[in-house]
């Protein structure tokens, strides 16, 4: 049967899935960027917000414990049969940091979207990635009608390390989003000391 | 023993948090999967032609998972397809794993520290999109 042979051929073939985080303050365009880049409609799932079971393996009573969930937006870009990118929008609020840790584990890197009208909103994201040594780039989302600042003045305001790339972008535009991702991957490669060739 | 009293717990219960749910009802209250710690992008592959009839204790959601994982799917996509929380899917996958109905492949080390060939493939692939 064809389907069996297909399965057999795929067995042992595990594609590589790379995680990229899309971070930034509330309303900075995270979900918009994930939507613009994803080859499928942005998907959503939930992680459960609870401390149940964290402290103990004793599960009695857990089934009656109510909790809440936090939504995660994610999208997918298939590079080839062996390689996929998963883009995860991070929850916008500090109290969901525990979920960031799960998202960031093993992540290739992150895009921090900055809204020049509310620059300070992306400080926590930048702090998070700096502290954990996770490579990131800053995408300055150019909203309609928002005042244009020079990249240099934004960089100074964010107190960014000189080697952290900054890119002007439009989170609604796929090509623009691609440019941001490419700049992230090239930044990761440079940090490894193996620059990806420009061509 | 839990001493939480109703009324002064969970300060994060508000509009930004999701609705109050009892997500672990489906798992019989179990919050840790047998094979805990599956990554969000762990690759789940169902055994070909699984004999699900041999496991009457499995829920419909287990069976759907096996079906969806027939072509190999990352955990987070299974959760989205089933509209179940990631934590619940981890528990269900642990059940399936212990019965040999699926294999779960954690991301290989190459995912955490991709070499230059992989990074170059990503850049080339993005440019070509």
Residues B88-98: pLDDT tens digits? 999 999 999 99
Q: Are the Cβ atoms of B2 and A68 closer than 8 angstroms?
A: no
- Pick the residue from chain B with its C-alpha nearest to A9: B71
How many Cα atoms occupy the beta-carbon half-sphere of A133 within 13 Å? 3
Least reliable range by pLDDT among A136-150, A170-184, B7-21: B7-21
Q: How confident is the model at residue A71 (pLDDT cuts 50, 70, 90)?
A: confident
pLDDT in tens, A115-173: 888 889 999 999 999 999 999 999 998 876 566 778 888 999 999 999 999 999 999 99
A24: pLDDT strictly greater than 80: yes
Q: Are the Cβ atoms of A53 and B32 closer than 8 angstroms?
A: yes
If one compares B37 and B6, the residue with the highest pLDDT of the two is: B37
Nearest to B122 among A18, A69, A88 (CB): A18
Note whether B75 and B38 are within 8 A (CB): yes
Q: Give the domains, in start order, of chain B with CATH numbers.
A: 23-128 (1.10.10)
C-alpha distance from B43 to closest chain A C-alpha (Å)? 7
C-alpha distance from B23 to closest chain A C-alpha (Å)? 8
Pair type for strands A83-89 and A16-24? parallel
A10: pLDDT strictly greater than 80: no
Partners of A70 in beta bridges: A47
Residues of A in contact with B120 (CB under 8 A): 189, 196-197
pLDDT recorded at residue A12: 57
Looking at the complex, does the CB of residue A46 fall below 8 Å from at least one CB of chain B? yes
| Number of other residues whose CB lies within 10 A of the CB of residue B104 | 19
Sheet containing B43-46, strands listed edge to edge, beginning at the edge strand earlier in sequence: B73-74, B43-46, B102-105
CATH number of the domain at A15-46+66-191, out of 3.40.50.10310, 3.40.50.300, 3.90.1150.110, 3.40.30.10? 3.40.50.300
Mean pLDDT of chain B: 82
B46: pLDDT strictly greater than 80: yes
Looking at the complex, does the CB of residue A74 fall below 8 Å from at least one CB of chain B? yes
C-alpha distance from A196 to closest chain B C-alpha (Å)? 6
Residues of A in contact with B126 (CB under 8 A): 77, 79, 178, 181-182, 185
Mean pLDDT of chain A: 81
pLDDT in tens, B79-89: 999 999 888 99
Q: Report the 3 state secondary structure along chain B.
A: CCCCCCCCCCCCCCCCCCCEECHHHHHCCCCCCCCCCCCCCCEEEECCCCCHHHCCCCCHHHHHHHHHHHHCEEHHHHHHHHCCCHHHHHHHHHHHHHCCCEEEECCCHHHHCCCHHHHHHHHHHHHHC
Chain B interface, best mutation among A17, A20, A73, A87, by max B CB count within 10 A: A17
DSSP letter at A83? E
pTM of the model: 0.81
Nearest to A53 among B31, B39, B74 (CB): B31
Q: Where are the domains of chain A?
A: 15-46+66-191
């Amino acid at each position: 049967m064809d389907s069996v042979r297909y399965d057999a051929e795929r067995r042992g073939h595990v594609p590589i899935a790379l995680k990229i985080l899309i971070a930034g303050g509330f309303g900075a365009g995270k979900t918009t960027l994930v939507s613009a880049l994803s080859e499928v409609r942005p998907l959503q799932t939930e992680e459960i917000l609870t401390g149940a079971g964290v402290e103990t393996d004793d599960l009695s009573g857990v089934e009656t414990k109510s909790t809440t969930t936090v939504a995660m937006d994610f999208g997918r870009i298939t590079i080839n049969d062996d390689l996929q990118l998963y883009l995860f929008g991070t929850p916008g609020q500090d109290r969901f940091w525990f979920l960031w840790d799960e998202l960031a584990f093993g992540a290739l890197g992150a895009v921090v979207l900055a809204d020049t009208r509310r620059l300070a909103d992306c400080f926590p994201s930048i702090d998070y990635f700096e502290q954990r040594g996770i490579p990131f780039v800053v995408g300055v989302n150019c909203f309609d009608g928002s005042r244009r600042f020079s990249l240099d003045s934004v960089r100074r305001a964010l107190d960014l390390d000189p080697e952290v790339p900054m890119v002007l972008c439009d989170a609604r535009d796929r090509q623009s989003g691609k440019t941001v991702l490419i700049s992230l991957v090239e930044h990761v490669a440079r940090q490894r000391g193996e620059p990806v060739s420009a061509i | 023993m839990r001493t939480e009293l109703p009324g002064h717990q969970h300060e994060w219960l508000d509009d930004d948090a999701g609705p109050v749910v009892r997500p672990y009802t489906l798992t019989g209250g179990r919050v840790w999967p047998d094979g805990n710690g599956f990554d969000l992008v762990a690759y789940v592959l169902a055994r070909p032609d699984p004999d699900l009839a041999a496991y009457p204790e499995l829920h419909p959601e287990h069976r759907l998972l096996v079906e969806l994982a027939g072509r190999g799917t990352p955990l987070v996509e299974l959760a989205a397809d089933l509209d179940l929380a990631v934590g619940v899917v981890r528990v269900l996958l642990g059940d399936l794993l212990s019965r040999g109905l699926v294999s779960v492949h954690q991301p290989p080390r190459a995912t955490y520290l991709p070499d230059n060939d992989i990074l170059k493939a990503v850049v080339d692939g993005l440019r070509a999109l």
